[in-house]
Amino acid sequence: MKNAYQVLHKVFGYQEFRHQQADIIEALLNNQDAMVLMPTGGGKSLCYQIPAIIRPGVGIVVSPLIALMQDQVDALNQSGVSAGYLNSNQSNDEQQQIEQQLINNEIDLLYVTPERLLTNRMLSLLRRAEIALFAIDEAHCVSQWGHDFRKEYQQLNILHQQFPGIPRIALTATADKRTRQEIIEQLDLHQSKTYLNSFDRPNIHYQISEQNTKAGLLTFIQNHHKHDAGIIYCLSRKKVEETADWLNQQGLQALPYHAGLSQQLRETNQKRFLREDSIIIVATIAFGMGIDKPDVRFVAHLNLPKSIEAYYQETGRAGRDGLAADAWMAYGLKDLMLLKQMIQDSDNEMQQRISHSKLDSLMALCETTSCRREHLLNYFDEETSSSCGNCDICNSPPETWDATDACRKALSCIYRTGQRFGVGYLTDVLTAKSNERIIQNGHDKVTTYGIGKDISVNEWKSIYRQLIAKGYIDINFEQYGALTLSEKARPLLRGEIELKLRKQTKKAAKKSESKAKSTLRDIDEELFEALRQYRYSLAQKESVPPYVIFNDKTLVEMTRKRPSTLDQLGQISGVGDKKKDKFGEQFLTIINQHKIHPWLQNELSDTINTTLELYLKLKDTQAVAEQRQLTVSTIYAHLSSAIKNETIQLDEIVEINDADIRQIRHAIDLCGEGGDDGAKAVFEFLNSEIEYGIIHCVRSSLGTHT
**Rounded to the nearest 5 degrees, what angle is found at the Cα of 74, between the Cα atoms of 524 and 270?**
80
Q: In the prediction, which pLDDT does 509 show?
A: 43
Helix axes 457-469, 333-344, angle to 10 degrees: 30
**What SS3 class is residue 257?**
strand
**362, 307 in Cβ contact below 8 A?**
yes
3-class SS of residue 233: strand
Cβ(111)–Cβ(73) below 8 Å: yes
Helix (H, G, I), strand (E, B) or coil at 369: coil
Cα radius of gyration (the chain): 30
Residues 6+ apart with CB under 8 A from 316: 39, 40, 41, 173, 174, 201, 204
**Residue 296 pLDDT > 50:** yes
Within a 10 A sphere around the Cβ of 104, how many other Cβ atoms?
11
Flag the least confident range among 88-97, 168-177, 238-247, 441-450.
168-177
Confidence tier at 505 by pLDDT (50, 70, 90):
low
Q: Which residues pair with 112 in a beta bridge?
A: 62, 86
pTM over 0.75: yes
- Cβ contact 412:448 at 8 Å: yes
DSSP reduced 3-state for 48: helix
Q: Tell me the pLDDT tens digit for each residue of 613-637.
A: 999 999 999 999 999 999 999 999 9
Of the chain, the percentage scoring pLDDT greater than 70 comes to 95
207 pLDDT higher than 70: yes
Higher pLDDT, residue 196 or 345: 196
Query: Coil, strand or helix: which one is 299?
Result: strand
Q: Where does residue 21 rank: exposed (0-12), middle (13-18), buried (19+ CB within 10 A)?
A: buried
Give yes or no for a contact between 700 and 668, defined as CB atoms under 8 angstroms apart: no
Task: Report the mean per-residue pLDDT for the chain.
Answer: 89
> What is the greatest pairwise CA distance in the chain?
97
Q: Determine the pLDDT at residue 517.
A: 47
- Measured in whole angstroms, the distance separating CA 377 from the mean position of its chain's CA atoms is 14
SS3 at position 168: strand
What DSSP state is assigned to residue 619?
Answer: -
Q: What is the pLDDT of residues 92-104, one digit of tens each?
A: 999 999 999 999 9
Contacts of 125 (CB under 8 A, 6+ apart): 99, 102, 103
CB contact burial 77-86 (16+ within 10 A = b; e otherwise):
bbbbbebbbb
Provide the 10 A C-beta neighbour count for residue 116: 17
For residue 578, which of 29, 48, 82, 70 has the smallest C-alpha distance? 82
d(CA 511, CA 527): 24
Per-residue DSSP letter, 635: H
Q: Is the pLDDT of residue 516 over 50?
A: no
Residue 627 to residue 606: CA distance in whole angstroms: 16
Average pLDDT over residues 339-350: 81
Per cent of the chain over pLDDT 90 is: 58
- Summarised one tens digit per residue, pLDDT across range 254-283 is 999 998 999 899 889 988 998 888 899 999
The reported pLDDT for the residue numbered 267 is 85
Distance of alpha carbon 311 from alpha carbon 210, whole angstroms: 16
Question: 683 falls in which pLDDT band (50, 70, 90)?
Answer: confident
Looking at the DSSP bridge assignments, the partners of residue 501 are: 401
- Sign of the Cα torsion 404, 407, 411, 416 reads positive
